[in-house]
Structure 1
Amino acid sequence: MKSKLFTAALGVVLSATAFNASAQKAYKEGVMTISSNMMGQNIEIKTYFRSDSSATAFNSGPAAIKVLTDKDAKSMAILVDVPVASIKKAAIATPAEIEEQQAKLPVFQFTPGTETKVINGFNCKKVTAKDTKNGKTYDIWVTNDISLPQIGGAKVYANAGGVPIQYATFQNGQSAEVTVKSIVEQKVPAGTFGIPADFDKISLDDLKAMSGGN
């Protein structure tokens, strides 16, 4: 398993949030497809969501990864399935571990811009996000075309003025740009947000040991 790629993708989970109840289209349940370049690799991430839960799935080498969290990110589990190695593990994060990861996220001040463009069918406007911790700035693109239930618990972009469509995610001091490719309203398959019975439950420390300490 390419552990650095896996770790970076967790930033997508921790950076997402909920926005703008007055938007034109309100998605209650469905799947969001996101593209990103992380650690020099293009990956596709799918996030299944409903009002109380989300499941973010992607591949890292031979491993299929799924990150489960509730809407407030008070609970989180990382499922790792490596068929070629007969590995099925579910790492359960403690509240302290979740809080530690969220404390590392930036705290933004937002300045709306005047530039607009269409990204994958979403009408977007440019917003500058300044991290008050280190002064770094990031250009993000948000839309008011839609609203989503809360996905993940870190409200990094809660005051951005819209739903981020092209934005930065953060994990362990690293950032990566992600772009929302599509959002489809659909019924999420049964069992999407649960841990299958054939997965062994382990700690995050156990998972780190499996992936070389990363």
Structure 2
Amino acid sequence: MFKSIKTGVLAVILASSAIYAQAQKKINEGSLTYGVEYKLTKEQQDMMQGMPLPNETKLKFNGNITKIEMEQGPALISIITDNAQKTGVMLVDVPVAQKQFAVKQTKEDIEKVMGTTKYSDFKATGEKQTIAGYNAEKYTYKDDKGTSHELWATKDVELPQIGAASYFPELKAFPVKYSVVQNGVGVTATLKSLKEEKIGALSIAVPSGYEVTTMEDLMKMGGQ
């Protein structure tokens, strides 16, 4: 009897370990899709008239390097970022004009977009819900001015320091719903899907055939 009980307990422990191991699956290559909402000031709303903001963002990643692709008018834009080094490149293809431009992004450029606010004092609240199929828990935290915030994060998966994780490096979970300020615009992002898939090698090196320019010169050409 005791042997059967021990065997039963061992089976439960092994099953639990298997579930835990699956829940803590590490994904190093794939894609993330976020639903995005914006909080714009009246001035920002006036500036954005005629230029609708995307309500969804897809981010491909391989290790610490990410790639976001979007269309803006006749231009195809790719933003490739090395999240570990905080450097990157923006590639702009304009097929109708047969032009290709590259804008290198320094650490200072990326910090300008992401902001330099530091976050700390992350505390799990015990409140839970399912987001994009993952078990998520609400966390409270503070910025470097002492203001309190909250986000939702999951421990079901382990990903590189990419996307939302770049904003919250001290959080020991992956953010699935959070709010930040990018380029002075309030953004709330909610994870819609996470796929483990082959993306291939990503690099912030400027490909051959691209003319290296600055953001200021690109905007003068109508690249804004």
The answer, yes or no, to whether TM exceeds 0.5 is yes
1:142 Cα deviation from its structure 2 partner = 0.1
- Percent identity between the two aligned chains: 33
8 Å contact 2:85–2:107 — kept in the other structure?
no
RCO comparison, higher one (Cα < 8 Å, 6+)? 1
- Is the helix fraction higher in 1 or 2? 2
Kindly report which structure 2 residues correspond to 1:60-209, keeping only aligned pairs within 5 A, or say none: 60-101=72-113, 104-109=115-120, 110-133=122-145, 135=147, 137-151=148-162, 155-189=166-200, 195-209=206-220
Query: In 1, Cα distance between the equivalents of 2:202 and 2:119?
Result: 35
Which amino acid is the alignment partner of residue 186 of structure 2? S
Which amino acid is the alignment partner of residue 66 of structure 2? S
Q: Which residue of 2 aligns with 1:47?
A: 59
Query: In 1, Cα distance between the equivalents of 2:124 and 2:157?
Result: 18
1:48 Cα deviation from its structure 2 partner = 1.5
Q: Work out which of the two has the higher radius of gyration on C-alpha atoms and give 1 or 2.
A: 2
1:81 Cα deviation from its structure 2 partner = 2.5
Report how many aligned residue pairs link the two structures.
Answer: 191
8 Å contact 1:54–1:193 — kept in the other structure?
no
Q: Which residue of 2 aligns with 1:27?
A: 27
1:206 Cα deviation from its structure 2 partner = 2.3
Which amino acid is the alignment partner of residue 205 of structure 1? E
Where do 5+ consecutive residues of structure 2 fail to align?
Answer: 1-21, 41-51
CA deviation vs aligned residue, 1:132-165 (integer Å, no higher than 9, x gap):
2362x43211000001112269842122231001
DSSP 3-state at the match of 2:149: strand
Q: 1:154 to 1:96 in 2, by over 3 A?
A: farther
1:23 Cα deviation from its structure 2 partner = 6.1
Kindly report which structure 2 residues correspond to 1:3-18, keeping only aligned pairs within 5 A, or say none: none
8 Å contact 1:89–1:199 — kept in the other structure?
yes
**TM-score for the superposition, normalised by structure 2:** 0.70
Which amino acid is the alignment partner of residue 131 of structure 1? D
Query: In 1, Cα distance between the equivalents of 2:56 and 2:85?
Result: 22
DSSP 3-state at the match of 1:37: strand
Which amino acid is the alignment partner of residue 216 of structure 2? D
RMSD: 3.1
**TM-score for the superposition, normalised by structure 1:** 0.73
Query: In 2, Cα distance between the equivalents of 1:134 and 1:171?
Result: 19
Q: 1:52 to 1:167 in 2, by over 3 A?
A: closer
